[in-house]
Amino acid sequence: DAKTTQPTSMDCAEGRAANLPCNHSTISGNEYVYWYRQIHSQGPQYIIHGLKNNETNEMASLIITEDRKSSTLILPHATLRDTAVYYCIVLRSYQLTFGKGTKLSVIP
């Protein structure tokens, strides 16, 4: 599996940008990076994905380094409802392999 490394936990003040890093140094050239989040006891929610270029959608932005060995998920204005575990995943074959993720706590 293409292993990813994320910090165990992070705090972010409400209204500020949350920047969640992910290291995926063993990623291959055609493998995508996906980000999901899981709010307590719910199913994971897709956020964004990317291959080489930076991506933005209504939920977040994804910045991928030029060598593709790391990426950062940016929530531009974090709210209390963004408190969740965030998973950075490299899709290999057809399998999403979830690690432990980063627990993001948004603080009032």
Partner 1 sequence: ETGVTQTPRHLVMGMTNKKSLKCEQHLGHNAMYWYKQSAKKPLELMFVYSLEERVENNSVPSRFSPECPNSSHLFLHLHTLQPEDSALYLCASSLDAGQGPKNIQYFGAGTRLSVL
Q: Tell me: does residue 31 bind partner 1 (CB under 8 A).
A: yes
Among 63, 91, 103, 105, binds partner 1 (CB under 8 A): 91
Pattern of binders to partner 1 over 34-73, x per CB under 8 A? x------xxxxxx--x-x----------------------
Instruction: Write a three-state SS string for 8-40.
Output: CEEEEECCCCEEEEEECCCCCCCCCEEEEEECC
Query: Which two three-digit tokens encode residue 24?
Result: 């995926």
Nearest to 108 by CA among 78, 85, 74, 75: 78
Binding site for partner 1 (CB under 8 A): 30-32, 34, 41-46, 49, 51, 91, 93-101
